[in-house]
């Protein structure tokens, strides 16, 4: 495979993303892809992402993986996977370009595509575990696809015997915080948080500068407090969020049910134009508590 590493497109907790320019024509590869790279010795999450994308197969709502390889660069071995290049960046980027809020007509359209992607993921036996605007890519004609499956897992698979949290704290569900449960309803809760952010430009949880991650987890997992449901959202939108923000994950609506909800059930062209029109990337966290030891990778957002 002949390719050249181009400009940086971004970076995350476990990998970097660059533009890959393919110098040899191939029917299997476009001329430009996004290459996601990790040190070969620390490539578990990238290998996991490649495995899950292969299992998910083709979907218009899931980012496509074209292949993988290993490279030796400046004496360091890297593991790389090649993904569709999204010229529009992420939904988080687009939100900033729209002045921090999307009009509800666009929120409905994006939400419908996200739910269709989740339906495909769940029906194929997986849970995304880290759904958020930064992990949704924007392609031509405003088409969007779910990406970043490094933290994803098979449905029904227990993570470990110890307490392990994964994902982005602001999007974690009560069952994840309380019981270390990551199943399909976990993604639906995160979907609700994502919709709130599209509508308001703010997190679904009002967190102050002096708050910390533990106080957020208490709010998510204990008591009856729910994420913010924006007043500017239509009644259909508010009801949609209420179906996502059900504390009992066994009673939360699933993706198939949500696709029939009037907030997104209509064809994009028939969504009423009278619907209400209406910053920094959150950091991922994964940590394990075992034998009184805490291991985590987390930057910003919260103070410890």
CATH number of the domain within which 72 lies: 3.30.200.20
Structure tokens at 270: 């028939």
Asked if 130 is an active-site residue, the reply is yes
Q: Which of 86, 266, 91, 63 is nearest to 195 (CA)?
A: 91
Residues 133, 61 share a domain = no
For residue 163, the cross-strand partners are: 289
User: Which pLDDT score is estimated for 160?
Assistant: 61
Quick check: is 72 in a domain?
yes
Which of 18, 130, 187, 282 does the annotation list as catalytic?
A: 130
Note down the domain range covering 163: 91-295
For the stretch 131-151, pLDDT in tens is 999 999 999 888 999 999 999
Say if residue 176's pLDDT is above 70. Answer: yes
Same domain, 163 and 278: yes
The rounded distance, in Å, linking the Cα atoms of 120 and 131 is 14
301 in a domain, yes or no?
no
**pLDDT given for residue 269 in this prediction:** 47
Higher pLDDT, 251 or 14: 251
Long-range interactions of 238-242: CB distance < 8 A, separation 24+:
239/263, 240/111, 240/195, 240/264, 241/192, 241/195, 241/196
The predicted model gives 197-202 an average pLDDT of 97
On whether both 73 and 201 belong to a single domain, the answer is no
Q: Are residues 66 and 194 located together in one domain of the fold? A: no
> pTM value?
0.86
Look at residue 299 in the predicted model and tell me its pLDDT.
Answer: 35
Based on the domain organization, do 78 and 147 belong to the same domain?
A: no
- Shared-domain flag, residues 26 and 118: no
The answer to the question of residue 304 being in a domain is no
DSSP alpha helices (H): ranges in 70-162? 91-97, 104-123
């Amino acid at each position: 495979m002949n390719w050249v590493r181009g400009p940086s497109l971004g970076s995350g907790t476990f990998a970097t993303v660059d533009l890959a320019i393919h110098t040899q024509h191939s029917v299997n590869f476009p001329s430009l892809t996004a290459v996601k790279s990790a040190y070969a010795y620390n490539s578990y999450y990238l290998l996991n992402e490649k495995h899950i994308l292969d299992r998910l197969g083709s979907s218009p709502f899931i980012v496509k993986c074209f292949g993988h390889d290993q490279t030796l660069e400046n004496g360091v071995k890297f593991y790389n996977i090649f993904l569709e290049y999204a010229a529009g960046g992420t939904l988080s980027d687009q939100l900033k370009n729209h002045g921090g809020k999307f009009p509800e007509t666009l929120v409905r359209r994006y939400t419908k595509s996200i739910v269709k992607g989740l339906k495909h993921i769940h029906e194929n036996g997986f849970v995304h575990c880290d759904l958020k605007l930064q992990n949704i890519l924007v392609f031509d004609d405003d088409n969007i696809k779910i990406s970043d499956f490094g933290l994803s897992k098979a449905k029904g698979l227990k993570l470990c015997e110890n307490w392990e949290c994964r994902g982005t704290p602001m999007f974690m569900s009560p069952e994840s915080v309380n019981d270390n449960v990551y199943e399909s309803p976990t993604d639906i809760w995160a979907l609700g948080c994502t919709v709130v952010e599209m509508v308001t430009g703010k997190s679904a949880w009002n967190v102050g500068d002096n708050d910390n991650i533990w106080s957020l987890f208490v709010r998510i997992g204990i008591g009856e407090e729910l994420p913010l449901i924006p007043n500017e959202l239509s009644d259909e939108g508010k009801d949609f969020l209420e179906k996502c923000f059900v504390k009992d994950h066994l009673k939360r609506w699933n993706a198939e049910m949500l696709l029939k909800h009037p907030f997104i059930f209509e064809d994009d062209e028939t969504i009423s134009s009278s619907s209400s029109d209406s910053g920094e990337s959150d950091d991922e966290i994964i940590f394990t508590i075992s034998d009184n030891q805490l291991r985590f990778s987390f930057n910003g957002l919260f103070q410890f």
